[in-house]
Homo-oligomer: A and B are copies of this chain.
Amino acid sequence: MKISVAERNALYKVIYNRRDVRGEFLPDPVPDEVLQRILHAAHHAPSVGFMQPWDFIIVRDVDTRKRVRDGFAVANREAAEMFPEEKRERYRSFKLEGIVDAPLGICVTCDRKRTGDVVIGRTANPEMDLYSSVCAVQNLWLAARAENLGAGWVSIVHHDHMRGVLGIPDDIVPVAWLCVGYVSYFHETPELEQAGWLPRLELESLVHCEHWAGKRV
């Protein structure tokens, strides 16, 4: 199946316009057929040994989302304390989640035992199944953007809190909580770049020729 230049450019448009959304969510509900399309896209991510280790917990209930946000509040207070004092106030000023603002939460998990103990491609690198669930997250995120939906990955919640709120068994690993919803606008560049927290690195400085020590190209 050939991909045309117009189709290729569409992919790049989606990739370059995807943002980690926290603050611009609208309360408008996400139609079921749209949700189904982004979940299907996630389900067609690559997975090690074709194990498809992911599950998706769809959370619309606001009380449940408030309890997830309570876990964020705890982990975020702990996080602020880890920064050197001169950065702490700055850290606290950032809006880092839209768990209750967005109408939809999606928890993506990894079932490491889904297809037994021995999995093709997971033998030398046992983390590969977690990485498969991350690929599903990235597919879902791009699909959401292509549906003009914002998505934001909230990682400042402890696994045990997420397990407790959502009833996730101990042997299932929470990989991501995604806030999903329509937005008033998308930022043109990442917010932490805009805020001057960190600069966009030059790609040239990250590309090595033939060997780590090879000249950057």
Contacts and interface: CB of A to CB of B under 8 A. Distances in A.
Nearest to A207: B56
Contacts of A180: none
A23 to B, nearest CB: 15
Interface string A72-115: 00010011001110000001001010000000000000000001
A157 interface: yes
A50 B213 contact: no
**Does more than half of chain A's interface fall in helix, strand or loop, or is it mixed?**
mixed
Nearest to A127: B130
Contacts of A18: 44, 46
Given A50-B198, A64-B211, A207-B39, A139 B57 contact: no
B12 A146 contact: yes
A179 B1 CA distance: 20
A32 B176 CA distance: 35
Contact of A210 (B61, B84, B94, B208): B61
